[in-house]
């Protein structure tokens, strides 16, 4: 569709309808209302809403859908980007203030005699 918006696409609700690819999503909405009985028999692909297939064939379509690879690649790219962002993140952690003074403690200990 992106490569050729003028390409003719066959309507899944009425095989006699041939619609230009750029108008196809609008046609699907209109035809779904006009053919409610056919609409009940069709399932929508989770990867591309323009893919309407008979309900029994949905699982087979999902395994073979060309848009599945695009979605999976987007997920991988986002995951890699997230990992890269995590690795490049600058820590804002700061050590809490310390009340200990080891020098003073050594001075105090040296003044007191060693008892065994």
pLDDT band at 109 (very low <50, low <70, confident <90, very high): low
Report, as an integer, the average pLDDT of 57-63: 93
- Asked whether residue 110 carries a pLDDT value surpassing 90, the answer given is no
The three-state secondary structure class of 9 is strand
Q: Does the global pTM surpass 0.95?
A: no
Cβ burial, residue 13 (10 Å; 0-12/13-18/19+): buried
- Give the residue extent of every domain in the chain: 1-65
pLDDT band at 59 (very low <50, low <70, confident <90, very high): very high
Report, as an integer, the average pLDDT of 84-104: 74
pLDDT band at 29 (very low <50, low <70, confident <90, very high): very high
pLDDT (0 to 100) of residue 111 = 60
Q: What is the DSSP string of 14-83?
A: -TT-EEEGGGHHHHHHHHHHH-HHHHHHEEE-SS-TT-EEEGGGHHHHHHH-HHHHHHHHHHHHHHHHHH
Q: Which among 30, 31, 33, 67 is positioned nearest to 49, based on CA atoms?
A: 67
């Amino acid at each position: 569709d992106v490569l050729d918006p003028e390409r003719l696409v066959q309507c899944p609700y009425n095989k006699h309808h041939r619609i230009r690819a750029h108008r196809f999503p609008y046609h699907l909405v209109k035809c779904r209302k006009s053919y409610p009985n056919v609409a009940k028999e069709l399932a929508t692909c989770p990867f591309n809403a323009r893919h309407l297939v008979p309900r029994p064939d949905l699982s087979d379509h999902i395994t073979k859908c060309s848009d599945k690879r695009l979605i999976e690649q987007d997920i991988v790219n986002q995951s890699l980007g997230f990992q890269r962002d995590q690795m490049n993140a600058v820590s804002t952690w700061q050590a809490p203030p310390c009340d200990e003074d080891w020098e003073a403690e050594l001075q105090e200990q040296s003044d007191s005699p060693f008892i065994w």
